[in-house]
Amino acid sequence: MNVLFEQIDRVVIAKLNRPSALNALNSETMYELISKLKKYDQSPSVGCIVITGSENVFCAGADIKEMASKNFSQMFEEDYFGYWEVFSKIKTPVIAAVSGYALGGGCELAMMCDIILASETAVFGQPEIKLGVIPGIGGTQRLTSLVGKSKAMELILSGRNIEVEEAEKIGLVSKIFPQTNFLTNVIKYAKDLANYSKTALIASKESINQSLECSLKDGIVFERRIFHSLFNTKDQKEGMNAFLEKRSANFNSMYQLKN
């Protein structure tokens, strides 16, 4: 199996598992990852997904061995990388837990996630220019929207590595965690998040993503309508009543898994 899946409470952990190719994403791995996550996305018992690799490498990119001999017609007819669009439609919050290299498609996978939590050893980069191509899983688009045109140009045209401190400074990485107990701490973070109302998590994600697609005026109306709609949920009543009653809110009691 190229990806190992485990569910701990309301958190699903997907661990890339191709050590001999530094977790490079071949078609099989991509299919395994996305098709399984699509199912978890629909489960009410899942409040957060974590994608990770090993301690030394998150993912070294798309599989160069698989791509090297392909011609234009093959890439075009297969719509190579087209299946990643399914990944970008996942509604459940997705955290990339990056330790070690996240290069090319690895960096793009991290950017497709909603939050990037990185260990002190994480190294990012879009080195495709060195292979005579450009990023193909959204790197030119998502990196630009994260760090701005000038920085994205500098990074993609040079293909240089980005150390984790710089990645955090430019807004690529959400938060840096110590290397020691990295994954344990990421899972703890994910568990806290997963215990919030799934409806409100999805609504937050949808509204933030909408801001990238529309004007401020339209985005504000979109947000307000979603805000209004949440007053028709049990979770809004639970959250606000819990505050007034000075107790912790319990949003997902009916979906808690037994350990």
Regarding 32 and contact with ligand CAA (CB under 6 A), the answer is: no
> Do the beta carbons of residue 52 and residue 4 sit within 8 Å?
no
Regarding 24 and contact with ligand CAA (CB under 6 A), the answer is: yes
Regarding 108 and contact with ligand CAA (CB under 6 A), the answer is: yes
Annotated catalytic residue: which of 47, 61, 105, 125?
A: 105
Regarding 16 and contact with ligand CAA (CB under 6 A), the answer is: no
Regarding 33 and contact with ligand CAA (CB under 6 A), the answer is: no
Backbone angles phi, psi at 124, to 5 degrees: -110, 165
Regarding 99 and contact with ligand CAA (CB under 6 A), the answer is: no
Q: How far is the CB of 222 from ligand CAA (least distance, A)?
A: 31
Q: Checking DSSP bridges between strand 11-16 and strand 123-125, what pairing results, if any?
A: unpaired
154 given a catalytic annotation: no
223 given a catalytic annotation: no
Regarding 58 and contact with ligand CAA (CB under 6 A), the answer is: no
128 given a catalytic annotation: yes
Q: How far is the CB of 204 from ligand CAA (least distance, A)?
A: 28
Q: How far is the CB of 167 from ligand CAA (least distance, A)?
A: 16
Distance between CA atoms of 257 and 249, rounded to whole angstroms? 17
Task: Give the 3-state secondary structure of residue 147.
Answer: helix
- The region of 46-54, 100-108, 206-214, 237-245 touching ligand CAA under the rule CB under 6 A is 100-108
The 10 Å Cβ neighbour count of residue 113 is 21
Sheet with 123-125: list strands edge to edge: 57-59, 101-103, 123-125, 161-163
Distance between CA atoms of 18 and 53, rounded to whole angstroms? 9
Number of residues that bind ligand CAA (CB under 6 A): 21
85 given a catalytic annotation: no
Regarding 105 and contact with ligand CAA (CB under 6 A), the answer is: yes
Q: Which of 12, 14, 21, 122 binds ligand CAA (CB under 6 A)?
A: 21
Regarding 3 and contact with ligand CAA (CB under 6 A), the answer is: no
Q: Which of 95, 103, 156, 172 binds ligand CAA (CB under 6 A)?
A: 103
Rg (CA), the chain: 19
Distance between CA atoms of 50 and 187, rounded to whole angstroms? 8
Q: Give the burial string for 226-253 (b: 16+ CB within 10 Å, else e).
A: beeeeeeeebbebbeeeeeeeeebebbe
Residue sitting closest to ligand CAA (CB)? 104
Nearest to 146 by CA among 101, 212, 99, 98: 212
Distance between CA atoms of 33 and 43, rounded to whole angstroms? 16
Regarding 22 and contact with ligand CAA (CB under 6 A), the answer is: yes
Residue (63 or 235) nearer to ligand CAA, CB:
63
Regarding 79 and contact with ligand CAA (CB under 6 A), the answer is: no
Q: Catalytic positions, please?
A: 62, 105, 108, 128
| Chain positions contacting ligand CAA, by CB under 6 A | 21-22, 24, 60-65, 101, 103-105, 108, 127-128, 131, 135-137, 139
